[in-house]
Structure 1
Amino acid sequence: MSRIEELPDDFDESLNLNELPVNEAPPVAPQDQLHSGFDLFAASNETPFPINEERLKAAKTDPSAPDMPPAMASVKSHTSAELLDLMNKTPLFMTDIDKAGDENGENPMLDALTALQNEGTRGDVAQSFKEQGNEAVQEKRWIDAKEMYTKALAVIAAKEDNWEKPEDLAVEKKLVLQMEELSHINRALCNLELGNYRACILDCAAALKLNPKNVKAYYRSSMALLKLERLDEAEDAAKRGLVIDSENKSLQIAASKISERKAAVERIAARKKAEAELLRKQNLVLSTALRAREIRTRKTDQPPEMEDARIRLVPDPLSPESSVEFPAVFLYPMDAQSDFIKSFSELHCIADHLDYMFPLPWDTKNEYTIPNVECFMQTVSGGLIKAGKKLPLLQILTGGKVEVVDQMVRIFIVPSGKTGAFIAEMKARKTG
């Protein structure tokens, strides 16, 4: 038995319909309904499909075996393709209405159901679909419920009038308007539960056009707008609903949720704004510090991925008196190897880092030692300069001969015996 027959205007939105009353059986799943249909045929000795007696006799290998129950025989005596065709002619299993008729294109059972669907006035039929939608809502079958409400609205909007003529036109008109409003507002609930938030808002707007005091429409549209992060509109919808019914619990909860979300969004926006302003000030101070040191920098269209590594002022990024630190990469071009240094202070020299890096794990010939390597950097024009291993990085970068590209200092480390080959290769690459 259903817990409620309709979805009245004061329907409690917070009601947990997943909890069934005591002694009430859970709803039957669609696949269980399918099996139940055959069980009913078996219990009543009726057959869902005509029995092919000849094929049934041919399939019976043991003459002494008992006959199959009629329902089972009607299934076993047909091939899979035949069963699919027969099922499509049965309204319970129908999937393609164009193939539902017999050789003359007729289907008496389908015609009978269609006649039942058109039984009554337009308002009666729309109400029937609406009530079927309500039953589906009570079982949380949102897709089925949405379909029923859509059918109710289709009946109301249909240009052809295939229904019975009402005895009282005024009563019929009132019923049709009522069913249109209820179908829109109930379909809005389905769309809200299914995550179709824009469709929910449209249904609520349609309901409010018919009845500007429909509190449910304000509630459901406010919740859909909240989901879409359209917070000002959501707040407005909730306020309009509360003007009509200031004691409505659902609207009060909705207004509270919207207010909390707006406050959270405002806090996030304020924090992001403060972070952006801090970063702007830090970049301004850093840019001033680099210009004062005559250090050239350049960005390319495809900078390397360095996570959070970047040029920065330490210890205070807002003080021009802080020292500058650079991400750096030591390149070993003669062996196709490299080492990344996240923070290379302008006060340190190349030898300071080579001291803890050497010996290199892949240097089996022991070619890389501090006394036995030379260091080079590329100039702005693409040439090379020799970088002193014991000079502070600031002294190497100052003056504008070299530039820091994409916030990274690049230093070539070459064994002394191979510097000639390295220089020749770099010149060939430049001219090529």
Structure 2
Amino acid sequence: MANDSEDEVMDAFVDKFKTEKYKHAFSEDNWEEEMERIPLFMTKAPDEIDPKKYPGLAALQAMIHDEDRTPEEKAEDLKNEGNSYFKSKKYTLALVSYTAALKMKCENLELNTIIYSNRAATHFYLGNMRSALNDATAAKKLKPDHLKALIRGAQCCIELRNFADALKWCDEGLKLYPTDKKLLEFRATADKNKRAAERDARKAKAKEKKLLGEKETLLNIIKERGIKFFPSTQPQHGSDSDDDDDESSSRGLSQLSLDGLSSQEVTGTQVYLNQEDGALYWPVLFLYPEHQQSDFISAFCENHCFSDHLSLMFGEELPPWDTNQKYRPSNLQLFFEDEQQEVLYQVNLRTSLLKVLQHQRYFVKAGTPSFIVLVKDSPYCKQYLSDKKVHRL
């Protein structure tokens, strides 16, 4: 009776199907879209799985994550899911699937090796070279003869510019697969780049050694002239002894050596020895506190006088900030500051730079001698000097 009842229901359904149009049938306009919703016929994996839009795929997902299935079955299906995403170049989703597969902790070493190798490839295409190398290493640890892991490990090392390790990966692989084209290609690349890197390192070391020698020579020349640098650790105020000066100078020289002998990072130039005349040429800074302005001379010969430069700087054409045209060579006064003793020393404009630099209280700061320029007897000059100790050279 039950069978007769079921047959009657089926007959009624068929009769209804003949007389009424199927509401959910594919049309000429939507059949391609509808086929894309069927897992078997999908040409690419969707970014998100909406159960209403992709009921079949959602059902497969539910099967993958079914708690009644074994860890190996779940890992296998998640691996396949990752492979599908990978083929569609949806690497982020592939990464999620492979990671979920590994979290199943199945005991199938072959399967785990493949998943690690596939995740290494995914990391590689995402640009995560360190993670890719770690996964390739994990795959090789599980199965030392896994060719894809060996190839991926070598490739990652090359991308990370670790050519020595790349050669190790290639050599391990070539012992097992001596004719593999990829391993041979990567080994040749790694060897070529390793040799180039070693050559560049030798050149850089030789250049550094040469620069260090030039720097030491220059430091000795400066020291022989009795020129001191502003000490990195200042002595206490009021300490005038020659021993303290020598110690400050020594500390200054040491600090200067570490700093690259220059203000080059700030000013783009540094003190240098002219081989033709044997003179030192210094970057020199002139400060005009009244107008908060400055001038920079990139190569001031130590044998030249200050008047030589000031006459050129304030000759026929005066700077635009000197609206009252007070900065005439005959009106100028030059000072340097002893920061340790808080004293200003007035410099005769006809004095050479070398003579000033050799003064017992002059210290070159940051590789650049600096001087203060004021207009003689001007109100600002009087006010500026009123609260300072001033000594004449």
Normalised by the length of structure 1, the TM-score is 0.63
Measured in 2, the distance between the counterparts of 1:120 and 1:351 equals 94
The superposition leaves residues 301-323 of structure 1 with CA deviations (integer Å, 9 ceiling, x where unpaired) of: 9997624322221248xxxx731
Out of 137, 149, 152, the position equivalent to 2:86 is: 137
AA in 2 matched with 1:344: F
Note if 1:189 corresponds to 2:121.
yes
The superposition leaves residues 198-248 of structure 1 with CA deviations (integer Å, 9 ceiling, x where unpaired) of: 322232223223321112211111222233333322221121111211221
Measured in 1, the distance between the counterparts of 2:22 and 2:207 equals 76
Note if 1:227 corresponds to 2:159.
yes
Q: What's 1:51 paired with?
A: none
The superposition leaves residues 289-308 of structure 1 with CA deviations (integer Å, 9 ceiling, x where unpaired) of: 11211111125599976243
Out of 114, 139, 142, the position equivalent to 2:62 is: 114
SS in 1 for 2:323: coil
Q: Once the 2 structures are TM-superposed, how far is the Cα of residue 45 of structure 1 from its aligned partner?
A: 4.1
Aligned residues: 313
Q: What's 1:389 paired with?
A: 349
Out of 118, 134, 152, the position equivalent to 2:101 is: 152
Out of 203, 206, 209, the position equivalent to 1:277 is: 209
CA contact 1:414–1:422 (8 Å) conserved in 2? no
Measured in 1, the distance between the counterparts of 2:111 and 2:49 equals 32
The superposition leaves residues 56-91 of structure 1 with CA deviations (integer Å, 9 ceiling, x where unpaired) of: xxxxxxxxxxxxxxxxxxxxxxxxxxxxxxxx9963
SS in 2 for 1:287: helix
AA in 2 matched with 1:246: P
The superposition leaves residues 316-356 of structure 1 with CA deviations (integer Å, 9 ceiling, x where unpaired) of: 8xxxx731111111112233221111111101111121122
CA contact 1:241–1:251 (8 Å) conserved in 2? yes
CA contact 2:79–2:101 (8 Å) conserved in 1? yes
Q: Percent identity?
A: 26
AA in 1 matched with 2:115: S
Q: Once the 2 structures are TM-superposed, how far is the Cα of residue 369 of structure 1 from its aligned partner?
A: 1.1
Give the 3 Å change call, closer, same or farther, for CA 370–120 of structure 1 in structure 2. Answer: closer
Q: What's 2:4 paired with?
A: none
Note if 1:347 corresponds to 2:303.
yes
The alignment's C-alpha RMSD in Å is 3.5
CA contact 1:300–1:406 (8 Å) conserved in 2? no
Measured in 1, the distance between the counterparts of 2:167 and 2:358 equals 58
Measured in 2, the distance between the counterparts of 1:230 and 1:44 equals 64
Measured in 1, the distance between the counterparts of 2:210 and 2:223 equals 20
Out of 196, 203, 206, the position equivalent to 1:264 is: 196
Normalised by the length of structure 2, the TM-score is 0.69
Q: What's 2:366 paired with?
A: 406
Q: What's 2:386 paired with?
A: 424
Q: What's 1:367 paired with?
A: 326
SS in 2 for 1:282: helix
AA in 2 matched with 1:310: Q
CA contact 1:374–1:414 (8 Å) conserved in 2? yes
Measured in 1, the distance between the counterparts of 2:165 and 2:321 equals 64
Moved more, 125-134 or 246-255: 125-134
Structure 2 spans left out of the alignment, 5+ residues: 1-20, 26-47, 234-258
